[in-house]
A and B are shown apart, each in its own frame.
Chain A
Amino acid sequence: MSERDGTAVKGAELHKAYGGVLALDDATFSAAPGEVHALVGENGAGKSTMIKSLAGVIRPDRGRVLIGGEEVRLRSPQDALRRGVATVFQELTLLDRMTVAENLMFGREPRGVGRLIRRRDLPAAAEKVLTEHGVDSVDPGELVENLPLHQQQLVEIVRAVIQQPKVLILDEPTSALARREVEWLFGLVRRLRDEGTCVVFTSHRWSEVTDLADRITVFRNGTDVGTHDELSEEDAVSLMTRREVSTAYSQPEQGPERAVVLQAEDLAAPGLHGVALALHAGEILGIGGLEGQGQQELFHALFGLTPTTGQLEVRGKAKHLRSPRDAIRAGIAFIPQDRKSEGLLLSMAVRENLTLPILGQVAAAGVLRPSTERTTAEGMIEQLHIDARWPGQPVGTLSGGNQQKVLLGRWLLADSQILLLYDVTRGVDVATKQDLYSLIIELAGEGRGILFYSSDTDELAHLCHRVLVLREGQIAQELDGPGIPTEDIIGAAFKEETHA
């Protein structure tokens, strides 16, 4: 461990309990000016709790928080901001019924006569800020709720950066971002670091940690278990989990050719132009390409979320999916990326969230049988290693990664035969990712058809029997696997741009 000149931010011997659950148990974390410091650990290790303590969102039960070497009592996020700590939280905090411009310029709007906000000038001012930071993919006049998650994340990051903080904290900033957006972020972070800013970030992707971090602190069970300049992935994982976890990808078997369970012909929707695909039973079919090339639109179309033209056959029967209800009835399940807005009932229990789509099975004559509901839910909590203290814990109080597992568990319980997995490993820790990979392979082995999108190209490369690369809402290339070289997928995604 090396001594740096001073600490920019520090949480010392912090304790935080949530009703008997220790989220932080004597945890210490400190970062210096001019360094990029990664905070890593399993889901539920307490990373976000540490960050929220440093950002003034929660007050730890015990321990001290220091900013710039000075002990502080933070009462609110503004308090922290005033002292130079700006934070991008794991769950985004944009005002979704306002435009990008209103969000970005919040509290710093251009003002005119009588200090009144010049609403007319807002988009232009926001546009300027965005381009200054190298973002020109986001329309400042758009309502945030209409933006895809990765663009919301970009806006959130820019909003934190323009505060010109001394300490910039990014809680899982990359989990929603596409590859080139991650590169953009890394460029930005390095530049800020060189200007003397202290940047703290968390990530479950080890390559990002080694790429970007000057130092790495590992958390386990609410405590820090070491800070290192260099750390190999194996060592990090065994520090995080105290067990040996293979980080090698397991690969699916190439089974015998089986029946087509989902066939689309000439599928079109806004952002999607004439897509044809066939998903077989037992197959993991990957969907690749750059971010925003119609992947989300394709998943939405197949789940009845957008009005669509074209032919669709589910297990040999022509179907017209007018709503998610139609899709669910046809045996299709969709696990979306944004768990906050799409699907989880945050204030309800883990148990209720798990059994929601199968209420019919855990109820007799319309009356819920609590014992059946509980055992069903407990089984799934076990199977997915969901880190819930008791099945009645509200989902909103789980760590981010564990929320994702609940969402997955729900559809596994519903026993859907066609699974649309949209970036399901987002925000999931290394060990759990391995669990999920095996689970997905197992589910396919049982004869389910799985459509798999991931913002992590490595996953597509290793996990899928076939990958369809989308470009501008069309299938640009089909790659056969398993074991497609990652470069091939990236190459196919970029093909046109390299010509230009």
Chain B
Amino acid sequence: MLERALLSPISGRGEQGPRQLARRRQLVAQNAPLVVAVVLVVGMLAIYIVLYAISLSAFPGTFEAASITDHAIPLSLAAVGQTMVILTRGIDLSVGGMMDLTNALAALKIQGGFLTEALWTVIILLIGAAGGLLNGLLVAFGRIQPILVTLGTLSIFQGLALWVLPSPGGHVATGYTSLFLNPNAPSALLWVILLGLAWVAFRRSRLGVQIFATGNDEQSARANSVPVIRTRLLVYVLGGTLAAGAGVALATTSTGGDATGGDVFTLSSIAAAVIGGVSLFGGRGSAVGAICGAFVLTVLIDILFFANVDPLFQPFFQGLFLVLAVGASTLVGRYLMRRR
């Protein structure tokens, strides 16, 4: 061990103030996008409650809470998977196709007793992993741009979904559905919390750190002994699995199977991830933020409904909101950074 006295220390960090406070402020600044995402969720919920109260002269109750959470679950899962991929500086456009496919499969197969239902859930998740593996192999070994790879597999998965379920139909067994859906209590919140906790643990695992390092700078990550190729591969597998989970969740929260029902999730998962503060340049972001993003987008639809916006104009307002939210997040982040 090197002794301190033997080396002339280089001091002079400048005035530091109370250490604790400085560090806390540092943390807030470094996590500014996440802070903004949380604030957005709270703000959106407040607006929702006010609008609800104005138009119905009552406050939203457990039924509304349950409805929002149920609807937010598929998007949350998809957005978390998307976030992980974006963290490595990639992107997964095939999320929508994978959700089409798994949604169709779930509607057809998840029924007929506990054992078959459990078995098919596992099979569907494995299909998601396999699809992700395909993406990962092409990106990590084929060295093809993620956007091209997943654009291709998006169509492949969409095609497979239509082959599995040519016309809408089928539905998930009701017993299974109640896992997610409970009109009387937002029990699905439990899943959200579990997802968040899983992320917190994952962030502290070796793979978690390697994902951040890979997205930060590939060369530097290599110099830090990160197996970049393997990390890339695994992140797409995880993304595919989560998209499959989202497909299953979508099948249970909607009335029936639809081989095109997942399409919108390609873009909305990216939107939720971005609102949640992930940096498209990689290496920065959080799944907790992505979950917040998913809730923000879900509540937004309800708000637009209460604001009497013509459904035809919904995409317009959603787009407008996305741009504003991301803009605000960037500005607030910059402000927090500068103020330190």
Residues on A facing B (Cβ under 8 Å): 57, 76-78, 81, 89, 92-99, 102-103, 106-107, 109, 114-119, 123, 131-139, 141-143, 154, 180-181, 183-184, 187-188, 191, 290, 292, 307
Contacts and interface: CB of A to CB of B under 8 A. Distances in A.
Given A81-B225, A132-B2, A187-B8, A93 B26 contact: no
B204 A184 contact: no
A436 to B, nearest CB: 28
Given A77-B222, A116-B204, A134-B4, 8 more contacts: A57-B223, A81-B225, A96-B220, A97-B216, A106-B213, A134-B8, A137-B11, A143-B30
B221 interface: yes
A136 B225 contact: no
Nearest to A293: B12
A107 B8 contact: no
Contact of A135 (B9, B14, B27, B213): B9
A135 B7 CA distance: 9
A188 B2 contact: yes
Given A107-B225, A154-B10, A184-B10, A96 B4 contact: no
B336 to A, nearest CB: 13
B67 to A, nearest CB: 35
Contacts of A103: 224
16 contacts: A81-B225, A93-B220, A93-B223, A94-B220, A96-B217, A97-B212, A98-B216, A103-B224, A137-B11, A139-B13, A154-B10, A180-B8, A184-B9, A191-B2, A191-B7, A292-B12
A134 B10 contact: yes
Please name the 7 residue pairs, one residue from A and one from B, whose CB atoms are nearest each other, closest first.
A134-B7, A93-B223, A116-B204, A117-B204, A93-B220, A97-B283, A134-B9
B56 interface: no
Contacts of A117: 204-205, 209
Interface in B1-36: 1-2, 4, 6-14, 23, 26-27, 30
A106 to B, nearest CB: 5
Contacts of A180: 8, 10
Given A95-B283, A137-B13, A78 B2 contact: no
Interface in B184-206: 201, 203-205
Nearest to B224: A106
Given A116-B204, A117-B209, A142-B26, A96 B216 contact: yes
A191 B2 CA distance: 8
B217 A137 contact: no
B219 A93 contact: yes
B10 A181 contact: yes
Most buried by A among B11, B213, B220: B220
B220 A133 contact: no
Nearest to B221: A95
Contacts of B203: 119
Contacts of B14: 292
Interface string B166-189: 000000000000000000000000
Nearest to B26: A141
Contacts of B71: none
A132 B26 contact: no
A95 B220 contact: yes
B284 interface: yes
A134 B9 CA distance: 4
Contacts of A102: 209
Interface string B57-84: 0000000000000000000000000000
Interface in B207-233: 209, 212-213, 216-217, 219-225
A71 B277 CA distance: 49
B208 to A, nearest CB: 8
Contacts of A143: 30
Contacts of B11: 136-137
A290 B12 CA distance: 11
A135 B216 CA distance: 25
A120 B92 CA distance: 32
B223 A77 contact: yes
Contacts of B4: 131-132, 134
B217 A95 contact: yes
B7 A119 contact: no
B12 A116 contact: no
A45 B28 CA distance: 47
Nearest to A123: B23
Contacts of A81: 225
A132 B284 CA distance: 30
A133 B4 CA distance: 6
A116 B205 contact: yes
A76 B216 contact: no
Given A95-B217, A97-B284, A136 B9 contact: yes
B33 to A, nearest CB: 12
Contacts of A92: 220
Given A97-B216, A98-B212, A136-B11, A89 B6 contact: no
A183 B8 contact: yes
A107 B224 contact: yes
A93 B7 contact: no
Interface string B277-296: 00100011000000000000
